[in-house]
Amino acid sequence: MTELTHLSMAEALDGLRKKDFTATELTGAYVAAVEAARPLNAFIVETPEIALRQAKEADARYAAGTARPLDGMPLGIKDLFCTEGVQTTAASRILKGFIPPYESTVSGNLFRDGAVMLGKLNLDEFAMGSANITSHFGPVISPWSGKDPAGASRKLVPGGSSGGSAASVAGRFAIAATGTDTGGSIRQPASFVGIVGLKPTYGRCSRWGIVAFASSLDQAGPMTRTVRDAAIMLGSMAGFDAKDSTSVDLPVPDYQSFLTGDIRGLRVGIPREYRVDGMPAEIERLWQQGIDWLKAAGAVPVEISLPHTKYALPTYYIVAPAECSSNLARYDGVRFGQRVEGKDLQEMYENTRAAGFGAEVRRRILMGTYVLSAGYYDAYYLKAQKVRARIAEDFQKAYALCDVILTPTAPSTAFAIGEKQDDPIAMYLNDVFTVPASLAGIPGISVPAGLGSDGLPLGLQILGRPFDEGTVLKVAEVMEKAAGPQPLPPYAG
């Protein structure tokens, strides 16, 4: 049965249609794999009963010839998506025990299309982090740490914030997973574990029912083993939702139809500002390799300039904390979540929030409160929103000269748990290549492109025009083919 967990989603769907195996068999294999992978700490809650019930329903539909697009696909759901009747915590102590009485639109869309839920995946607390080390439920260990990841002397991070999603897909104990990306939380972990991670255009997937971090940046997307799987899964996740005021009412194309392999004449922008100081030579080399691959397939590399790139991270670390301080004001111990009593209402709030939030979340709430407070709003928040407009304008200008943009995804391979933890800014630099696209709201994908000298995966990022996920996926698939089959992590189910 183990080989069932090594199929891509496209292969598994094909096998189910051909009746090579049943959805119950496939889900059974994954339920066992999830259980075996417990030492990696990727799941906060496992839901095998739900999974097996959904698989049985999928089997009935396959038998009746009424199978749906994702019927029987065992997914992991990041624990930032509210799931009806199943604990949703955002990996925070403050939400421990919270059972949503409703389903997020995106997870609901996936289940409507037949997906099976294996459980809720670990993440950085409120999705704030780049290493999945800020979770109240403990860090996730990357399957790249060794054959026995939990026993490894150097336990590697899977990246973050979608660390459980990344680890489960790479480690072959979820066929695919949902992620969310605010500044790189899908793409950076995808790069760290050698999988595909797609952040769609802001507005493409509904944010309704996803625990909010920074509402002008948050976007859900698929984390998968192949580009084709990302195309399949995005087709189910995307779509207009009247319950999200920023959801965009555009038809959802058949993303698989873009995967033609034909990128002849397509202009690929290479931003000169992404050659940052101190970038490891191997990342520079891999980037060049990516340019060569696309060129060999008939694309035309074009040098472009995104002059405000270096200001993206500082802009992000004003805008995101500001929005987070506002969004997280709702955790007051009254309507849901944990409460710590105090002598009066004021003290009850203060005690509840002191006990409920971890160090990174507290730091960001305080930072956000400061930049929004009287006397500092103009100097920090307003200034950042203006620089953000400049960054978005850089991309608009660039897309007059090119169709997609190619960059590295992350400035390094995965590091170990415990490293980079003393200095928040060193941790923030992980997102140097992913944050600009988040600020501009444009789509981006990370595709595994090779290994670094330490034997760990490195991804390349392709950015596209707003709502042009199709072209992004097309180029990504060409690169995936050119890069060839990538090695599995030492722990793979």
Partner 1 sequence: MSLDKATVAKIAHLARIKVPEEDQEHLAQELNKILGWVEQLSEVDTSGVQPMTSVVAQTLRQRADVVSDGGYPDTVVANATDAAEHFFSVPKVVE
Residues near partner 1 (CB under 8 A) are 98-99, 101, 201-203, 216-217, 242, 245-246, 248, 308, 310-311, 314-315, 317-318, 325, 329, 332-339, 341-351, 353-354, 357, 362-363, 365-367, 369-370, 373, 376, 379-380, 382-390, 392, 424-425, 440-441, 466
Residue 378's contacts (CB-CB under 8 Å, 6 or more residues apart) are none
Nearest approach, Cβ of residue 14 and partner 1 (Å): 36
CB-nearer residue toward partner 1: 228 or 388: 388
Compute the distance between CA of residue 340 and CA of residue 101 in angstroms, rounded to an integer.
23
Least Cβ distance, residue 393 to partner 1 (angstroms)? 8
Question: What span, in angstroms and rounded, lies between the C-alpha atoms of 29 and 15?
Answer: 14
Determine the residue type at 253.
Answer: P
Distances (CA, A) of 478 to 139, 192, 195, 458, 485: 34, 21, 15, 17, 13
- In DSSP terms, 444 is beta-bridged to 199, 463
Separation CA 347–CA 13 (nearest Å): 54
Q: Which of 161, 168, 412, 446 is catalytic?
A: 161
Q: How far is the CB of 370 from partner 1 (least distance, A)?
A: 5
Joined tokens for residue 179: 């992620």
CB of 345 to partner 1, least distance (A): 5
First to last CA, the chain: 11
Nearer to partner 1, 154 or 377 (CB): 377
| Residue 382 CB, nearest approach to partner 1 (Å) | 6
Q: How many CA atoms lie within 13 A of 480 on its CB side?
A: 25
Structure tokens at 365: 């709430």
Residue count (the chain) = 493
94 to 132, 215, 480: CA distances (angstroms): 17, 20, 41
- Indicate the residue among 56 and 363 with the shorter CB distance to partner 1: 363
Taking the complex as a whole, the smallest distance from the CB of residue 349 to partner 1 amounts, in Å, to 4
Looking at residue 133, the DSSP 8-state letter turns out to be -
Closest approach, Cβ 223 to partner 1, in A, equals: 22
Residue 55 vs 322, nearer CB to partner 1: 322
Q: Which is nearer to partner 1, 1 or 242 (CB)?
A: 242
Phi and psi at residue 463, to the nearest 5°: -105, 150
Q: Which is nearer to partner 1, 26 or 391 (CB)?
A: 391
Nearest-approach distance from CB 135 to partner 1, in angstroms: 19
Catalytic residue at 438? Answer: no
Q: Which residues pair with 179 in a beta bridge?
A: 221
3-state SS of 138-156 is: CCCCCHHHCCCHHHCCCCE
Check if 107 is active-site.
no
> What single-letter DSSP state applies at residue 103?
-
Given the residues 92, 104, 162, 185, the one annotated as active site: 185
Closest to 55 (Cα-Cα) out of 28, 82, 20: 28
Q: Is 361 left (phi over 0), alpha (psi -120 to 50) or beta?
A: alpha
Secondary structure of residue 83 in the 3-state scheme: strand
Read out DSSP for 3-57? GGGGS-HHHHHHHHHTTSS-HHHHHHHHHHHHHHTGGG--EEEE-HHHHHHHHHH
Give CA–CA dist 341/268, Å, rounded. Answer: 57
Nearer to partner 1 by C-beta: 108 or 459? 108
Q: How far is the CB of 414 from partner 1 (least distance, A)?
A: 24
Q: Which is nearer to partner 1, 109 or 247 (CB)?
A: 247
Give the Å distances, CA to CA, from 364 to 186, 317, 408.
20, 9, 27
In the set 78, 199, 420, 474, the catalytic residue is 78
Judge contact between 43 and 164, C-beta under 8 A. yes
Among this protein's residues, is 161 annotated catalytic?
yes
Rounded to 5°, angle at Cα 431 from 372 and 386: 40
Among residues 3 and 249, whose Cβ is nearest to partner 1? 249
Name the residues annotated as catalytic.
78, 161, 185
